[in-house]
Structures are given as structure tokens and as C-alpha cells.
Amino acid sequence: MDKIRHECDVLVVGGGPAGLTAACSAAQARVRVTIIDDNPHVGGQIWRREQRKQSAPEAVEWVKKVQDAEVELINGATVFDYPEPGVLRAEASEGVYELSYHQLIIATGARERFLPFPGWTLPNVMGAGGLQALVKSGLSISGKKVVVAGSGPLLLAVAAYLREQGADLRLIAEQAPRRRLVPFGLALYRHPRKVLQLITLEKQLLGVRYLTSCWPIAAEGDEKLRSVTLRQGSKTRKLACDYLACGFHLVANTELAALLDCELREGTVHVGDFQETSVANVYCAGEATGIGGLELSVVEGQIAGYAATRQNEKAQALFGSRSKLRRFALMMDCAFQLRDELKDLPQPETIVCRCEDVTLEKLQTQTGWNSARMLTRCGMGPCQGRICGSAVEFLFHWTPKSVRPPIFPVRLESLASMSGASEGHREFFVEGDL
């Protein structure tokens, strides 16, 4: 496999809102800026399709700024290794990139949190954002009965989109109680843009049942999903459905930051006033620093880009906006905090690690994440714990002790082609193939 060497002053990992705004801000210092992203188009889950359809003016504007600033884009490339300070490696179809940089901005975003319950591995039970992405990619949802369940503002956005695409939306089930959601809703009025978004969503979802303190307890079906059973208080109800879109808010993508030995706190990357991490010349912005939504990601990205290129006055001018948006993010975390009853969802025979078919019963005999990995292979499959990791953290309060390369699955030839591959890399593959 070909080795491709690339040098830049500022490397941005992630092409979502935080990454795009960071790159634009850094480029104002007239330095060489590169964005690397594992998707074929920049924009992240929020902006990727919309900016191409001209339906999100803000996305179109930022992408145009990136183009005008002559920021170099490397799409379809997955960063998997950190061989030495100032160098990252990424796999792409055309070869393995060796990326040299002076300043690094991590904007790796977040992913959905999945919690196991009986039947959650059935076909057509999928993440809320996952189903939305499939529909955006061409899956027909017209006329299909859909239940959206879990927690977080993403549920409303997904439900509105699916209904717009013709789905027969049966129910939106939010696990958070009404007593926490009402204060959160009232607080929105300090953020006019978010009020407008809420009003738009309410219009799009007019007539759709929205239940609070309600969550799925079982999905039923033979070869694929046929129905879902939900609990609300002491009552249960069964709904026939073709798809269950289920996600329990978001989890920060911190693997790359952890590989670089950046300090993590409560599952997010810890940063200072200028979005700097605990590692020199490494910055982090967006959902990886804490789930805060689009507007906060945009502001943090700009601050990181300015700070990485010593444009500190411009960065400081955005501190006030960031503080306001962080207060909103804190209210959101409190409003959608997961209830303890969700820990009782999986039964002993329920699969928790889908990659390695590890059940709850097998995990209950383990003392921690390391013993679970060694004795049950939980988290050792292709997703490397990205699905089951957040689940076992919620169920057992286990957290990974370390991250080892490759942080994403890559072809063996990608590692073999690197003459400097370390003994640790070879050990990883031996262990992973047992």
C-alpha cells in the first residue's frame, strides 16, 4: 500500500461544524491548514447532506469559507495511529497518509449512546441518528411505521426528518421526566435561535404523540422487528412498528485524544480557556469536549482555530458566547440525565457486546473493564467498544484504562506498509485475533 506524506502547519481531525470553523479561523493567519475526515464529504452528521442541497445556509457559508481560504481537504481517510509527536497516520483507499503538523485540533464529535434491552439486536432496531443517516443515503421510509425512543434533543430532530420523508410516526418516547424537561424548555427562551428551532419542530411533529418518562423495554420479532413494548410508570404498551429508532443521547469521541494522552474528565476531553488540551500544541473543540450542540461546536471551533495560530484577541472575543452556550449545555445534561431504571433493562441472556456476543450474565461475574475484555472479549470486536463501552460504563461504572493503536479497524496491510510499525502494533493484532 502506498505511503503518502503530507505536511501542514495546522491539522484538523474532523470535518464537522467544529472542524470547519476551526480550519477557517486558523487559515486567517495565512498558514497551511488541512482537514482530514473519514467521510466522503465534510459537514458531519448535521451539515453533510444539507449543505449539498443548499437547505442549511450556515453550512453552505462555512464550506465556502473553507474553499475560499484554500484549506486542503483529505476526505475518506481514518486516523488510526500516533507514531510520534507531530505525526498522525490515516488510512484511505489511495494509501496510508503520514501527516506531519505543528498544531493539532481534534474535532472528532460524538456518537449515539446505545443501551441494551431484550431484542435490541433485531434487524430494523437501530440508532436514531443511524436511521436518519440511512434515509438520507436513500433508504425509503415512506409509509413505514416508526417509533422513536430514548433520550435527548436528537430524538425530535430525527422524528421530524423521518416524518418529512413519509414515515408513519407512531410515537416519540423520551425517558426523561416532564418535571426536568419543563424548566429546560423555559430556559430555551434565552436562546432565540433555539426557540425558533423548537417551534419549527413542533409544527413538523403536530399530532405525533410525545410521551415523557417512557422508554423501550423489549423489541419483538422473528427475523426482523415487528413490535416494541414500552413502559411509562406502572403501565406498559405494545406498538406494532417496522423500525425502532433508539438512542440515549450522545457520547463524546475521545479515542484520538486519549491516544495522544490528553487529559479526560468524565468521558470528555478537558480543555482550557483557549480550547487547549493538557498536551502541548494540541487543541480540542466541539462535542468531544462535552455535548453542547451545534452553536457551541461552532464557537469552540473558532476559538481553537484562532488560539492554535496565536490570534488570541479574536479567540477571547468569543469567550462570552461560549460561556452562555456552555450554561445551556449544562442544563441540557441535567434535563436528559439517564434514569437508574434503565440499568434494569437487560436480562441475563441479553447481549451487551454485539461484536463478540457477550451477554449481561457473563459480564456480571467480572470485576472491571480489563477483566471483561480478557475473559469475555467484550469490546474486542470491530467497533472496539464504541457501542458496548458506553453501555457497560452506564451499567457497571467501568471505564477503559487506556487506548492502543489502531484506534479504528484498518487493513493489516496499512500497518505492514509502515516500516516503523512498533512492537505494540504487532502485539495488538496478535491479541485481537485470539
Q: What is the pLDDT of residues 198-239, one digit of tens each?
A: 899 999 999 999 999 999 999 999 989 999 999 999 999 999
- pLDDT number for residue 405: 85
What dihedral do alpha carbons 170, 173, 179, 185 form, nearest 10°? Answer: -70
Q: How far from the centroid of its chain's Cα atoms is residue 314's Cα?
A: 28
CA–CA–CA angle 147, 149, 154 (5° rounding) = 110
pTM (2 d.p.): 0.91
Instruction: Output 283 or 422, whichever has higher pLDDT.
Output: 283
Residue 86, pLDDT > 90, answer yes
Q: Rounded to whole angstroms, how far apart are CA atoms 223 and 178?
A: 36
User: Per-residue pLDDT tens for 13-71?
Assistant: 999 999 999 999 999 999 999 999 998 888 777 776 555 555 567 788 888 888 888 89
Contacts of 28 (CB under 8 A, 6+ apart): 69, 305, 306, 309, 311, 314
Domain boundaries, the chain: 3-111+251-333, 114-248, 343-432
- pLDDT number for residue 426: 41
Note the CATH number of domain 114-248.
3.50.50.60
Output Rg (C-alpha) for the chain, integer angstroms: 22
Q: Are 257 and 277 in contact (CB under 8 A)?
A: yes
- CA 258 to each of CA 22, 44, 254, 383: distance values in angstroms, whole numbers, following the listed order: 20, 21, 6, 16
User: Per-residue pLDDT tens for 373-393?
Assistant: 999 999 988 888 889 999 999
* Cell 459537514, located at residue: 43
Q: Rounded to whole angstroms, how far apart are CA atoms 427 and 434?
A: 11
Q: Which overall architecture, per CATH, does domain 3-111+251-333 show?
A: 3-Layer(bba) Sandwich (3.50)
Direct distance between the N- and C-terminal alpha carbons of the chain, in angstroms, rounded to an integer: 25
Contacts of 162 (CB under 8 A, 6+ apart): 131, 132, 135, 141, 146, 148, 169, 245
- pLDDT number for residue 432: 40
SS3 of 138, please? Answer: coil
